[in-house]
Amino acid sequence: MKDLIKYIAQALVDHPDQVAVSEVEGNQTSVLELKVAKEDLGKVIGKQGRTARAMRTILSAASAKVKKRTVLEIIE
């Protein structure tokens, strides 16, 4: 899960080396924290949050496979 988000985010930004994803695991829900370079913040959020929404949608589809919930947070 973590790798997937990292992979997508790295493909979207200008500074892939500054992409960091950390996972806070819970019983049912885990939280993914995505950190990118300041200039790239807009790239992972997108117009009207569309990119962020797309990533969250894919994340929830992927976590349905392992019967869990995953929340994506983009850290400023």
Partner 1 sequence: MPCLEFEGKSVEKAIKKASEELRIPIEKLKYDVISYGSTGIFGLVGSKKARICVTLREPIPKPEAIIKEEVSAGENKEIQIISESEQKQNASEGPIELGRNVLQRIIDSITSDATVSIQENSERILFNISGGNSAILIGKRGQTLEAMQYLVEKIINKNYEQRIRILVDIEGYLETKEAGLERIAVRLSEKAKRTGKPVTIGQLNAQDRRIVHLALKDDSGVRTQSIGDGFYRKLVIFPQKSYQRKKEKNT
- For partner 1, which residue of 11, 28, 67, 76 counts as binding (CB under 8 A)? 11
Give the residue among 62, 68, 69 at the shortest CA–CA distance from 3. 62
> Residue 44: which residues within 8 A CB-CB, separation 6 or more?
9, 12, 13, 34, 36, 51, 52, 55, 74
13-72 residues in contact with partner 1 (CB under 8 A) are 14-17, 46, 48, 50-51, 53-55, 57-58, 61-62, 64-65
Positions that interact with partner 1 (CB under 8 A) = 1, 4, 7-8, 10-12, 14-17, 46, 48, 50-51, 53-55, 57-58, 61-62, 64-65
